[in-house]
Each structure stands twice: as C-alpha cells, then as structure tokens.
Structure 1
C-alpha cells in the first residue's frame, strides 16, 4: 500500500501544477485628489532680473466683483538670482522662472456677521490659478510677514494642488484686512506666454478674475526619427 501511495503522489503534484493561474485583477483608476504642498516663505533676494514684456517688467490688473473694485494685483516673472537680463529666448532650457503675484485688498467689507442660532460656514478666502500651472516644479509659497499683517498669523495660508491648479487658501487667523497686500509665488520651467485671465481671487463670497503672466503649455517631446 505504501508503494502505491508513493507512485501516485507525483501524478497528484503534476495535476496541481498544470492548473492555469487565476487572472490578475484589473486595476481601477482612482480619481486624482487635491494634494497639500509645503509653502515656503518669499525671499526676493533669491530672484534675478524680471522679464520685461509689452507692459513693462510688471503687469497690474484691477480686481472687480460685479461693478465694484475690490482690489488690485501686480505680477511679475523673474529669472534666478544672478541673472541681470531675463530674456527667455536667450536663457538655458533648464532655467526656472519664478511667478510672483502681489494681491492688495481694498474694497471688501470685512465685518463679521452677527452670531445666530445656527452656525453658518463662512465663504472661503482664496487665490488660485484657474488653469493647470504648466511646468510647475513643485516650489511655491507666500510672504509670511505679509500674512501676519493681513490675517494675524504667518501660518494663515495653506497651499494645495488640484488637477494641476494651484490654490492658496486662508485656513487660520482673521479676515483679510483692507489695504493689506499678500504676495504669493510659484515656479515653472516654462516662461510666460503673456498675460492671461488665469487667476481667481475669492474673498467673503466675492469673486474676481485676475489677469497676469502665465506659462504656455509644455512642448511635447520631440520624436526620434526612424532610421
């Protein structure tokens, strides 16, 4: 009997080994979620010359909600430290460009609503790009000293990226003080293609489209010609 069992065992193993493996599960795509980024302080001493465009080295735009002006934005793009003349067509391909936006609030009522029996969530206060930030290299931030003056906290602003769009949102402190300027910045491997209505300011329910320098879409990689 033992001999018969030993002879039958290899056939049992062979039968097990011949079974086909189960098909691998098909991966299900997961929708991209907003991702929190680390905001660095603004240090203008690390910037070189500004790009001079048709409107000069800076682009100024009025921020309007309906028929009322609620603020202004002054923007510029700078080359890295040490560059005395910033001309994108003359710069190396690996040049990093810093986009800077100085937003000043001057026409929005910052009075707090009276407390009622129900707690109502306050409208968000944020500044964002309305288009994907082409060439974004992961570096961005804001002026912490200005955030302290505008909101009462240097850590008042949180930054996220959502489907390639950059968002600076007030997450701490008081309402934005009138006439206070807050500067935000970010970096791209792409130079500006010109001013674009690619920014949005939202304060206490008021929204204003902002126009400023914005990078062109990245050029597709050049295909290698067939031999």
Structure 2
C-alpha cells in the first residue's frame, strides 16, 4: 500500500514520539541532606580534638540546628589537631566547662562569610560567644588578595584551606587555637575588709596586762613585810638575852 508523500513526515514524527516515550527517564537528583559540621571535619581528617570539644560542649548540635533553621548561615574557624597540641601544657584542662563552651563558640561566627567577605568586614566581627560575661568576644580580620589573617588580640594566624565555602556554611582551617583576650584579661582583685577593732577586747587586754603588772608589786610588798617581822623578832630576842 502506497502512502501519500505528505504522510511520511507525520509517520516519522509519530515513531520518534513513541520511541522517546519508551526510553526510561533519568532519575531526579536526590535532595542534599541536612548539613553536619562534624561530618565535614571528619572528612578533613585532622580535627579530632575540635570534634571532641564540639560533642562534649554540644556546640556541634547547636551549629547544625541553627544552620538548618537560619537564613544568615554560619562560619566556622577550625583549629587543627596540631594547633591544639601547640597550646601550653594544661591549657584545656585548666578551663572550666563554661570556658570550654565559650572557647568553641568563639570559633563560630553567626553569619556566612566568603574569603572575600572577610577582607571587607567591619571589625570586630561578632562570634557566637559575643555578649557572654559582658565581653566583646570579637574577631579581627585583615589581609589582601588571597591572604586573610584573623586576630583575637592575643593570637593571630592565617586562614588556610576552606573545607567548605558554600552558603549557608563556610569552614576554614586555622593553624592556631583562637584564644579570646577575655581569657587573658585579669580581673581586679576583690578588696579584703579592714581588720575589725574590738574596744572591749582591748580594754580587757589592758586590764589583764595591768593586773599582771601589779602582781609582782604585791608579792614584793609581802616579802618586805615578812623580812621586817623576822628582823624585829630577832632584835627582841637579843634584848632578852642581854
């Protein structure tokens, strides 16, 4: 059976449509799961101490919850294990639980910052520790080009590799633990109260001293009377004998 020439294009189009309909479609991309900061650090491979502190202080859970419920994002400055090893001996052990929480919160900014953003921010940049104990708890950034430095006022280091730099979370490696200057500022000592003066005690002491001083005088008087009496008896006896 012969087909009119105009039907061939329509027939070819129909075959192509049927072929596409039978081809299996590509699977839709799976949505990315919730962000987990400790998983990012574990992948980095040299943040064991930081991960332990994030877990013990529960700051890691706080970061994850805020990341998945905030539009501002967050920025984490992650000290390596070598950074913690280079701290003076006993530094972490001498911190009480509240100070350990403050230390980890101090490494987290409550906003997403790209490397370029850090070169143009207004210093000091607030951290998650800001507002605690009335301190500033801020970080100071400087640099140019691809080099960015971060300072606490007592510690300064360079920001190195970015473990993640995609909103809403940026994680930057640092080679020093960011010790806040609030830890090093000595608090003014509390003035001790002046010694109390007890007049009655002083009076009693004076009386006791006076009594003690009078005691030898009374004894001496009795001794002199005794000597005089003996001398008188002796003279009397001598008079009788004569």
Common fold: TM-score over 0.5: no
TM band (smaller chain): under 0.3
In the superposition, the TM-score normalised over structure 1's length comes to 0.26
As a proportion of its length, which structure holds more strand? 1
Higher relative contact order (CA 8 A, sep 6+): 1
User: How does the TM-score come out when normalised to structure 2?
Assistant: 0.25
Larger Rg: 2
More helix by share: 2
